Amino acid sequence: MPNEENVGKAKEGASGGPDDTTKLVRRRKFAWTMVFSFLSANLLMTLRFFFPRTLFEPKTVFRIGYPGDFAYGVDTRFQQDYRIWVVRNTEGIFVLYARCTHLGCTPDWVEGENKFKCPCHGSGYDSEGINFEGPAPRPLDRAGVDLDAEGQIVVNVGKLYQCPPGLQCQFKDPGAFLAGV
């Protein structure tokens, strides 16, 4: 004959005691939480669609200062902000666009060796941007330069001057450099 204790436990489990109702409430709460989470995520994705991503690029035309602000040699202070180097030599001032002509990496100015060196594939350029080592097919591009009404240098990286091998070099064109400043 069965024990009374065992009979009581069997009846409690069969009748769906208080433990079953709390489990059912928890399951129902969890299910609704998942449904609302899913709907909320979809709502956020839909709202995100109405606010497109934008890319803020730096200006292509900007002032860099007066010609007297630049000493002979290579000035690297605008490399981070505008990706340019200002070079002053005996002929005048010109601006090199800091993009390797091989694959577009940004070369570094190596003061001790007096050259630009590309860290990606080893292209080397002299202080005037002329390639002399590595896989670079042509010299660095020069950005357009001009003087504004106040006498400040205005750089236009939207207008680049190139010197491709076998074709006419644009480095002596008006706008590629400032002579006699």
- Same structural domain, 160 and 83: yes
Q: Tens digit of pLDDT for each residue in 1-25?
A: 555 555 455 555 555 556 888 888 9
Residue 56 forms part of a structural domain: no
CATH of residue 102: 2.102.10.10
Residue 55 forms part of a structural domain: no
Average pLDDT across the chain, whole number: 86
d(CA 181, CA 176): 14
Identify the domain containing residue 113 by its residue range: 61-179
- Same structural domain, 106 and 44: no
Q: What is the DSSP string of 126-173?
A: -TTS-EEESS--SPPPEEEEEE-TTS-EEEEEEEEE---TTS---TTS
Number of domains the chain is built from: 2
pTM: 0.68
- Same structural domain, 105 and 155: yes
Q: Which pLDDT value is given to residue 93?
A: 93
d(CA 21, CA 17): 7
Sign of the C-alpha dihedral, residues 140, 63, 89, 119? negative
- Same structural domain, 124 and 145: yes
Q: Tens digit of pLDDT for each residue in 58-85?
A: 788 999 999 999 999 999 999 888 999 9
